[in-house]
Structure 1
């Protein structure tokens, strides 16, 4: 989960607008939302929801 968060941060920080537009803004945003959703699931699983013993 921490690696996913770091990767997402790096992609946002160092991503270039011309690369985003070349891929397509809609595709980029769809992929971004999928990644944020996966990250949220990982955060919930790893840090918030207690594991049943």
Structure 2
């Protein structure tokens, strides 16, 4: 357990929470009410990868 450290820019993982706000736009696309560009809002969730710790 002591060999696990956070990534250098772990605080950037907070941007992943924007994905929850933008998730409705992606749902709208699948319901036929949004544009294809609305699917790009799902990319906000990739910021959560900064929260994952690294092994030394």
Structures share a fold, TM > 0.5? no
TM-score of the superposition, structure 1-length normalised?
Answer: 0.38
TM-score of the superposition, structure 2-length normalised?
Answer: 0.37
Larger-gyration structure (1/2): 2
Higher normalized helix content (fraction of residues): 1
Higher normalized strand content (fraction of residues): 2
Q: Which has the higher contact order (CA 8 A, sep 6+)?
A: 1
